[in-house]
Structure 1
Amino acid sequence: METLKISVLGTGDMGGAIATALKKRTNHTIHVRGSNDASISSKKLVGELGVTAATPQDLSTSDIVFIVVPATELSGAAATLGGYTGIVVAVSVSGTVGRDGRPSSAETLAASLPGAKVVSAFTSIWSDVIRTPGTDGQVSAFVASDHEDAKAAVSGLAKELGFHAINGGSLANAVYAEAMGMFAVRLAIDSGYGRTISFSAFNVR
């Protein structure tokens, strides 16, 4: 696979996990940006991983930008990217997804970034599993987008990270994948599975 320039916008728990996985398990060039220039988590990742803090130019010239911010901050993330026309991976999940009648986070970003190719991915996977996929079986990464080339690129990246990329169809299906993320949270808490609960899609034989 060609070497890509990838930026991670959002350096909290999940953003940090994605940046760490990309740096340690791929050969791509990684940049990170926190919620603001004084972000402590961003500076920590720069120091620990040896990645670069993303400048506005880095963001605008990235092949892929992961947006991993709270759902309430999506508009700010979109404004930061401005007229970006590359691939945007929407990882944000609202705690009320599927119950509030609102579009998925991925669809919200697509509406705010009409020139970008938005892909929904990794929304049903805990940050702990992003960091360490484990050896008990391949975890499925559901990848949805209206852009087949972008979907293929992100699916390839998911495979590089050790996940089983599943074609999730169009971006309209992102709401279901995001809801699976919230279901994983409930299973972790209510059913005692903890933060390594994962989904795996397979055919019964």
Structure 2
Amino acid sequence: MEKTSTDALPLTVNSLEKQEAICIFGTGDFGRSLGLKMLQCGYPIVYGSRKPWMSSLLPNGAEVLSYYEAAQKSDIIIIAIHREHYDFLTKLTEVLSGKILVDVSNNLKINQYPESNAEYLAQLVPGARVVKAFNTVSAWALQSGALDASRQVFVCGNDSKAKERVMDIVRTLGLTPLDRGSLLAANEIENYPLQLFPMWRFPLYLSAVLCVFLFFYCVIRDVIYPYVYEKKDSTFRMAISIPNHIFPITALTLLALVYLPGVTAAILQLYRGTKYRRFPDWLDHWMLCRKQLGLVALGFAFLHVLYTLVIPIRYYVRWRLGNITVTQARSKKENPFSTTTAWMNDAYIALGILGFFLFVLLGITSLPSVSNTVNWREFRFIQSKLGYLTLILCTAHTLVYGGKKFLNPLNLKWHLPSAYVLALIIPCTVLVIKLILILPCIDKTLTRIRQGWERNSKSALNGKTDI
């Protein structure tokens, strides 16, 4: 259908609309970067500075005035100044009254002051409408345009209209505003940039503890034990062999720990007979960092694959194969082919390949760019159903690897079993508990509890369940 001139008129009018002027107090790195970004999005920018004559570093097109003069040019003033320099604002109380002050500051330490910077600003200028925003976006990201890692802008304030105007600016800049409520949330928002991988700490610390423990465990069995009883130097195993034992064990253990809090929560709900009681804090935190646990496990699985691929080029392996070949040539004997051994070896490799494939699939679907394209049912199917299948395949991979040596007393060294036996403890525990939970009699009760049924409530006695 052909468009008429009247169809195009609204676009022309919108394109000629001029954005409201924005005032920025502060000409530091962040103030300059934010001002440049706003200029590129069509906002007239006025800088307030104590030295307005020194404006050579500011973006072209911006006006530079004193604080008092700049404040009269706009209803929205962005305070891009450190908290310790806020005192001068008390002299501008009259001109700032009724205006929107956007606090973008951060501190050097978490909870450095009794109140948040935004609350402190509201106390200094009681007549202004203070909004906290932009503190999670870096000057470098604004300058380079690399906003993918910091696109979210947390916004809070006591005046809903002031917040909405600030969020409109955030959207115009190509960022995503997230309303966090009143100004009481400013303290939490100011702590965000100071937190170093908060959800990754537990997985990283746990994996580090596991690796250290398994390293010393394997050194005792594979290095110290042969030296004590056979005077054999096996220290070279610490470079490839021992790490290639540690990485898969850590990966399998962490994968099992992804699903252990889920079954633990189910047991608690069955025991309590209700879903309306909070889980312990440690279980809540554990459940929140399951994604990070899974990704760390996937990283160790990748290391296991890489270390396995280099096994054929190791000197020790080539030396052993060469000696076996020469010995067989001299004795004119060959090892008979064992179909059972071939089946075990192929099954071990096939289970490992399938398990690793599903492991990678779980990791890919946990990425926000992928998880946002599937609905909740699809995401749950992949992460739960395929997740347990991955755990089963990886556990079976380890069981087949052990084969007949699994519980052989001759395989004990100083009464210590092989390291892969330790790897099976948590996964097998999780799988056994899950098998019990999916029994019809138990699953039915658990489903009713999760639908709102309570064992000791009046509605439960009457057979009613609230939605």
Query: Retained in 2: the 8 A contact 1:124–1:182?
Result: no
Match of 1:173 among 185, 189, 193: 185
Match of 1:96 among 109, 116, 120: 109
Query: Retained in 1: the 8 A contact 2:47–2:70?
Result: no
Q: Which runs of 5+ in 1 are unaligned?
A: 192-200
Query: Match for residue 90 of structure 2?
Result: 79
Question: How many Å separate the matches in 1 of 2:170 and 2:194?
Answer: 20
Query: Retained in 2: the 8 A contact 1:140–1:166?
Result: yes
Q: How does 1:33-48 map to 2 (within 5 A)?
A: 33-34=48-49, 36-37=50-51, 40=54, 42-45=55-58, 48=59
Match of 1:14 among 24, 30, 33: 30
Q: Does 1:50 align with 2:65?
A: no
Give, in angstroms, the shift of residue 131 of structure 1: 2.9
Compared CA separation, residues 49 and 101, structure 1 to 2 (3 A): same
Compared CA separation, residues 70 and 165, structure 1 to 2 (3 A): same
Compared CA separation, residues 159 and 179, structure 1 to 2 (3 A): same
Compared CA separation, residues 102 and 134, structure 1 to 2 (3 A): same
Q: Write the deviation string for residues 150-177 of structure 1: whole angstroms up to 9, x where unpaired.
A: 0000001000011011011101101111
Give, in angstroms, the shift of residue 95 of structure 1: 1.2
Question: How many Å separate the matches in 1 of 2:139 and 2:70?
Answer: 25
Question: How many Å separate the matches in 1 of 2:171 and 2:93?
Answer: 29
Compared CA separation, residues 142 and 2, structure 1 to 2 (3 A): farther
Compared CA separation, residues 135 and 6, structure 1 to 2 (3 A): closer
Compared CA separation, residues 39 and 114, structure 1 to 2 (3 A): same
Query: Retained in 2: the 8 A contact 1:141–1:165?
Result: yes
| Structure (1 or 2) with the greater helix fraction | 2
Compared CA separation, residues 136 and 72, structure 1 to 2 (3 A): closer
Give, in angstroms, the shift of residue 132 of structure 1: 4.0
Larger RCO: 1 or 2 (CA < 8 Å, sep 6+): 1
Give the secondary-structure state (helix, strand or coil) at the position aligned to 2:165. Answer: helix
Give, in angstroms, the shift of residue 32 of structure 1: 0.9
Match of 2:172 among 160, 163, 173: 160
Give, in angstroms, the shift of residue 135 of structure 1: 6.7
Query: What is the aligned length?
Result: 184
Query: Retained in 2: the 8 A contact 1:21–1:130?
Result: yes
TM-score of the aligned structures, taking structure 2 as reference length: 0.36
Q: How does 1:49-198 map to 2 (within 5 A)?
A: 49-55=60-66, 56-76=68-88, 78-79=89-90, 81-83=92-94, 84=96, 85-98=98-111, 100-134=112-146, 136=148, 139-183=151-195, 186=196
Query: Retained in 2: the 8 A contact 1:7–1:54?
Result: no
The Cα RMSD (Å) is: 2.6
Question: How many Å separate the matches in 2 of 1:62 and 1:133?
Answer: 26
Q: Write the deviation string for residues 92-113 of structure 1: whole angstroms up to 9, x where unpaired.
A: 1121342x35211111111111
Give, in angstroms, the shift of residue 19 of structure 1: 0.8
Give the secondary-structure state (helix, strand or coil) at the position aligned to 2:30. Answer: helix
Question: How many Å separate the matches in 2 of 1:28 and 1:136?
Answer: 22
Query: Retained in 2: the 8 A contact 1:124–1:141?
Result: yes
Give, in angstroms, the shift of residue 60 of structure 1: 2.8
Q: Write the deviation string for residues 88-147 of structure 1: whole angstroms up to 9, x where unpaired.
A: 10001121342x352111111111111111000011121112334437477110010000
Question: How many Å separate the matches in 2 of 1:125 and 1:49?
Answer: 22
Question: How many Å separate the matches in 1 of 2:74 and 2:147?
Answer: 32
Q: Write the deviation string for residues 52-81 of structure 1: whole angstroms up to 9, x where unpaired.
A: 0134233134120000111211222x2353
Larger radius of gyration: 2
Question: How many Å separate the matches in 2 of 1:155 and 1:17?
Answer: 18
Query: Retained in 2: the 8 A contact 1:6–1:28?
Result: yes
TM-score of the aligned structures, taking structure 1 as reference length: 0.79
Query: Match for residue 198 of structure 1?
Result: none
Give the secondary-structure state (helix, strand or coil) at the position aligned to 2:134. Answer: coil
Give the secondary-structure state (helix, strand or coil) at the position aligned to 1:49. Answer: coil
Q: Which runs of 5+ in 2 are unaligned?
A: 1-16, 202-367, 377-467
Compared CA separation, residues 18 and 80, structure 1 to 2 (3 A): farther
% identical equivalent positions: 24
Question: How many Å separate the matches in 2 of 1:95 and 1:118?
Answer: 21
Query: Retained in 2: the 8 A contact 1:8–1:19?
Result: yes
Question: How many Å separate the matches in 2 of 1:58 and 1:101?
Answer: 29
Question: How many Å separate the matches in 1 of 2:110 and 2:61?
Answer: 35
